[in-house]
Amino acid sequence: MSLGFTAMRGFAVTLAAAGLVLTGCSGDDGAKTKAADSGSQGGGLVEVLGSLSAKGSAARYLEYGDMAHWRAIGAANDAGATGDRRWVSAMGVGLGNIALRADVVTQQTGINVYKVDRVVAYGMPPENALRLEGAFAVDDIKSKLTTLGAKPRTMGGQEGLTFTKDNQIDMNGPMVKIGLMNQLNQVVVTDKALVAGAAAAPVEAGLASSGSLKDSADHTAVASCLGDVAAALIAAPPQVAGVKLYGLGLRKPAAPGDPAVNVVCALPLVPEIKNNFTSKFTPQAKVLRDAVDGIEHDEVSAGGQTVLRATVKIKPDGPAILVQQLFLRNQLASLIDPAAPVDPAGAVMPGS
């Protein structure tokens, strides 16, 4: 579908599954403030923050996915997506082309991304890495990686494996042959987690035992604002403006046939953000009106921080992770922050 130019359908709808009435909101000061309760504390997302160093590149950018949830509702199994294909893009959050080569990666390395519980990809190249959480057959994975040519290397005080020097790509190496580049250059695997990346430093940043992002008031507030999500993105803006930290997520559907509900959270630096967000981030916005049935604005108080939030009901034929896609295309920030750069091309990209 194309996001943008057709007439907007009625946007006042009742979202029974989430217990929310979603309406287009004006820019007044009537947005409700809610304390983050036990049902919206960020769930697995907050827990994952406890393994990511607050001093590493994860503080600037991370993607999160709850693969266990997709299996629990029957939208995926150990071999990949099943049934309703609209959730495929959400299942791939954080995995990149590893998801596209999942069968070969599993066969060659013993790493099955569809059997993990949680996924978090963090940082930007060359300081990026991937952390998988779940139950891992450590001996089998190490044996397969060693057979492919990996050598021992200690990272973050733990025994790991390395294929080549940091950030190098061996065009004749085993990773390229199975369709990857250097995502598995450096690997540390335990029975509960696997962390991999092109270089040792970002891998070590995913093995934090103290000084983690869970200790960051900003990150935990945004994660609590997002609530119990199946997929999410938390990012600082590329340049300092009116928003300190963004959170974008897909709430967990209870069943594969449920509507997609997106969440946008913005931790403001200046009070003007609230009026801009509530007046511009509405179903009438050009990049939203073809894909959105309704939006509700409120505020969430968590850890002494107040985070602005919009809960977005996606139309049945709309992209399941619409707000994340728009953010990555630089088409979302200007609807929240008046100081954010506007999409330079003014283009409306097709949805997935």
Residue extents of the structural domains in the chain: 13-41+213-335, 55-205
Per-residue pLDDT tens, the chain, 352 aa: give them: 322 222 222 222 222 222 222 333 333 444 556 655 433 455 799 999 999 999 989 999 999 999 999 999 999 999 999 978 899 999 999 998 898 899 999 999 999 999 999 999 999 999 999 999 999 999 999 999 999 999 999 999 999 999 999 999 999 999 999 999 999 999 999 999 999 999 999 999 999 988 999 999 999 999 999 999 999 999 999 888 899 999 999 999 999 999 999 999 999 999 999 999 999 999 999 999 999 999 999 999 998 999 999 999 999 999 999 999 999 999 999 999 998 876 544 433 333 3
Report in angstroms the alpha-carbon separations of 27 from 13, 24, 137, 296, 341. Answer: 20, 10, 53, 12, 21
Task: Give me the pLDDT at residue 10, please.
Answer: 24
**Does the CA dihedral 24-26-27-32 come out positive or negative?**
negative
At CB < 8 A and 24+ separation, what contacts does 94-100 make? 94/63, 94/64, 94/65, 94/119, 94/120, 94/121, 94/130, 95/65, 95/119, 95/121, 95/130, 96/121, 96/183, 97/179, 97/180, 98/130, 98/180, 98/183, 100/179
pTM of the model: 0.86
Position 42 scores a pLDDT of: 59
